[in-house]
Structure 1
Amino acid sequence: MFKRLCIIGTGLIGGSIARAARAQGLCQEIVAFGREKNQPNLQLAKDLGVIDQFYTHISAALDHADLVIIATPVGSMQSIFELIKPYWSATALYSDAGSTKASVVSAIEAVFGHVPNNFVPAHPIAGAERSGVDASNAELFKNRRLIITPLNNTDPQAVEKLTRFWEQIGSSVSEMSVEHHDTVLAATSHLPHILAFALVGLLGRKDEQREIFKYAAGGFKDFTRIASSDPTMWLDICLANKQDIIPLIRQFKAELSNIEQLLVDDQSQQLFDTFTYARNARQRFLDTLDD
């Protein structure tokens, strides 16, 4: 399908894209670009067979590449586009794997003055507790959603090629606007991560923390699993999408305050109704997964 896939950012996501593409025979060669300080990670990726070769000079990495996927934290996107710009090819397909889309679009606009029509913003809805290329696997995107957020000027053929690429590595591809993507992901991914970080931070600072964690049940482990996520990546995501996250935090604080008052007033029926509504809402969500 592609002659040369260039991955920029060979961590969990970038490494898993490379592994999946190789497993499905979607490219003849896979290379990676990284900074000189990241050579040990790049060498590990090569030793693991994730990539065929790596480069610390962007021109060499992009040479003859017909598919380029940027899988770095969203906060570094503008600097990556600045590196790529002198070597941008009109015949290649470019995309990203960022968890926020407005910030990525703003970053490329800041560098190019516009969004090139062969750049297709995308976001694989997949992840894992562990980060790094050694945690990557070819099955990470199987039966997971991939959201493409094309712009008005995006080349339809580029969208079609990227869609086929992700479908062939097992993803279910959806399209939505940049703005809608960021609003939806703020509620379904970004806020839950913040809540998990906050809860674990709260309990971790208590004097009796060892006893708290010793007696934590499985529900605690399940709910706080995402607090093991990469702090650097989530710092970038939260800053990039704070305009959607902050209103949700305020709404969540209001929900907690309401429950607090119900407890203060011993309003058992209202508490029961609140818990019942939440349970039923979650069941409706689970039912949609079975459709």
Structure 2
Amino acid sequence: MESSQPEFGKIVVFGTGLIGGSFALALKEAGAVEEVVGFGRTPSTLRIAQQLGVIDRAGINPAHEIADADIVLVATPVAQMPEIFARITPYLGPNTLVTDGGSTKGDVVAAARAAFRGHIGKFVPAHPIAGAENSGPAAAQPDLYRGKKVVVTPLPENNDERLDRIKRAWAYCGADIYELTPEQHDRVFAAVSHLPHLLSFALVHDLAMRQDADLFFTFAASGFRDFTRIAASHPEMWRDICLANREALLGELDAYRLQLDALRVALAAANGERIEEIFGIARQARRDWAGGN
């Protein structure tokens, strides 16, 4: 989706790394934005973002940048979002919309309601389902969202015009747009995203803590590499995600432990038929999901 004339005058991005930076680059490449202003935790990061063309300039004070912004994207770890919401609330302009890139929605929506209060209709929650192990402005890619899913989790207070405007912003990035409720989102992603990360971190941590860890890593091959790729993800971000969605994640972890217990019982009993049955069901489900690959 390309724009002959920029639809957005100014976009403000809090967090100019992989998620926020890729959003900015994609809108720039599509010709959909005139100016991108970035906020971050360190001046050095913002300098790098500007040098790389991720942002046009660094913001200093939200009071000078928010009121005339078309969209404010908060693309920080979710634990930082409440403070940012509170900082920008007094300066929201009549046409300013706020969205986020958080991997959890229940906690983010609660924080937004507490901060925005009567302005909550201007907040349209979203979650881009795209990522990589690297972080920071250098990791930003203009095509990160191309052909990827972005889940929008509308609130009852979002009118159609505001919802469509946020959807169009993500569509300019090349994303496929889906809708879930915040509750549906957190239940689904606890199972298909948050639990896999938890398991991957746990396995690598287990091996790393062994006295002969080097021996194991020396002989680890493609299967280990594929399974543990996501253990290279940002620890702070995934700490926040796990804590924010802990109730749903605990439920999924308990269900997974039951699966492990069932396999352990079958293995201890040398019950190859049961092990093969479980593996077969999993294999078919994986092939169906991946189109036979």
Alignment of 1:263 with 2:263, yes or no, is: no
Q: 1:284 to 1:115 in 2, by over 3 A?
A: farther
1:209 shift after superposition: 1.0
Q: Where does the alignment leave 5 or more consecutive residues of structure 2 unmatched?
A: 1-6
Give 1:83-232 correspondences, 5 Å limit. 83-113=87-117, 116-232=120-236
Q: 1:207 to 1:92 in 2, by over 3 A?
A: same
Question: Does structure 2 conserve the Cα–Cα contact (< 8 Å) formed by 1:58 and 1:84?
Answer: yes
Alignment of 1:72 with 2:41, yes or no, is: no
Distance 1:280 1:57 in 2: 54
1:111 shift after superposition: 1.8
Question: Does structure 2 conserve the Cα–Cα contact (< 8 Å) formed by 1:32 and 1:61?
Answer: no
Distance 1:199 1:235 in 2: 16
Out of 49, 65, 75, the residue aligned to residue 45 of structure 1 is 49
Q: Where does the alignment leave 5 or more consecutive residues of structure 1 unmatched?
A: none
1:116 shift after superposition: 1.6
Q: Deviations over 1:191-231 (max 9, x none)?
A: 00000000000111112211111111101101100000000
Q: Aligned letter for 1:71?
A: A
Alignment of 1:3 with 2:17, yes or no, is: no
1:103 shift after superposition: 0.7
Q: 1:170 to 1:222 in 2, by over 3 A?
A: same
1:113 shift after superposition: 3.2
Distance 2:165 2:67 in 1: 20
Distance 1:114 1:178 in 2: 19
Equivalent in the alignment of 1:33:
39
Report the secondary structure of 2:290's partner residue: helix
Question: Does structure 1 conserve the Cα–Cα contact (< 8 Å) formed by 2:70 and 2:97?
Answer: yes
Question: Does structure 2 conserve the Cα–Cα contact (< 8 Å) formed by 1:69 and 1:94?
Answer: yes
1:15 shift after superposition: 0.7
Distance 1:159 1:72 in 2: 21
Q: CA RMSD in A?
A: 1.3
Report the secondary structure of 2:9's partner residue: strand
Identity %: 40
Question: Does structure 2 conserve the Cα–Cα contact (< 8 Å) formed by 1:33 and 1:61?
Answer: no
Distance 1:29 1:4 in 2: 5
Alignment of 1:23 with 2:53, yes or no, is: no
1:34 shift after superposition: 2.6
Which sits farther off after the overlay, 162-171 or 183-192? 162-171
1:251 shift after superposition: 0.9
**After TM superposition, what 4+ stretches of structure 1 lie above 4 angstroms from structure 2?**
none
